[in-house]
Amino acid sequence: MSKKYQSISKEISPLNSEHTSRIIQDFIETRVSEAKATGVVIGVSGGIDSAVVLTLAVRVLGHEKVNAFFLRNKNSSPDDIQDIQGYCDSLRVKLSNINIQDVIDQFAVSIDELEDSNTLEWMNIKPRILQTYLYYFANKNNCLVCGGGNKSELMIGYFTKYGDGGVDLLPIGDVYKTHVFQLAEFLDLPKSFINKSPSAGLKAGQTDEAEIGMSYSKLDSILFGIELFQSVQEIADHLKIPVQMVKRVRSMIYKSEHKRRAPLIIKLGVRTPTIDWRVPLLEPSDF
């Protein structure tokens, strides 16, 4: 584990990386098999999350069944492009590098506005356009779209609804960001991914921790306490942090719940989609 994340071990147990990676690989293989898909499509960012997912997918499916896409915009970092290109080359995964800025510009023209990368609506446009590209290639090649969202970001809603949150499977969706770093070291990812400040790359100079307002190590410690049903005061006392910080994280969880659920449906019938009309993933033999 990198020194930057060692302190977290006092609050949250270290990950059994070997066991976890095996479970995630089985999950990816099972979902692809159930869907009768030919492989997966992964949007890579040059960050650690998508790199970990890419690695696990290649391990279980083979490089020929994994399709990587870097969809860049004017704020994309040249270092990210270089890092992911070099890593895809080492994995023998084909990387499609596509500039989506022209599409963003055309969208701006169509609504008679100028792009403002510092506003929420424009930051959300980019991942939604990106996801359209990923699903085009996924549909074209009978693939599933494999997302890179981790547990920390999913729980506080730090993702775009119907953007990077709109995927077919989330292999590390139950893995805290702190543990993603441990997985990355176990998988022997290049240090450029591990030492890089996490960023969504949606605006110049953006970093995840600055936007969230705290380090991932602190966030994960709070989330872990909430997961274990500890009270706000217990978490604050244990971590020696202000109660208000814990309340803020808890508030982010509640306010973003709509992002983690399917669209709400009013119940009118005997059985209602997403409420009590659910079918198994495997098709019944008598269909």
Domains of the chain in start order, with CATH, are 3-260 (3.40.50.620)
Residue 190 has pLDDT above 90, yes or no: yes
Interatomic CA distance for residues 1 and 9, integer angstroms: 10
Q: Is the pLDDT of residue 153 over 50?
A: yes
How does pLDDT run across 244-272, given as a tens digit for each residue?
999 999 999 999 999 999 898 999 999 89
Q: Name which of 52-56, 115-119, 226-230 the model is least confident about.
A: 115-119
Q: How far apart are CA 45 and CA 176, in angstroms?
A: 18
Average pLDDT of 5-15? 58
C-alpha distances (whole Å) from 286 to each of 132, 282, 283 are 35, 12, 9
How confident is the prediction for the chain on average, in pLDDT? Answer: 91
The pLDDT, as a whole number, for residue 282 is: 64
Q: How far apart (Å, rounded) are the C-alpha atoms in residues 99 and 105?
A: 11
CB contact at 8 A, 96 and 68: yes
**Amino acid letter, residue 238:** H
pTM of the model: 0.90
Strand, helix or coil for residue 99 = strand
Mean pLDDT of 11-40: 94
Q: Coil, helix or strand for 146?
A: strand
Instruction: Express each pLDDT in 89-147 by its tens digit.
Output: 999 999 999 999 999 999 999 999 999 888 889 989 999 999 999 999 999 999 999 99
Q: How many helices (H) and strands (E) does the chain have?
A: 12, 4
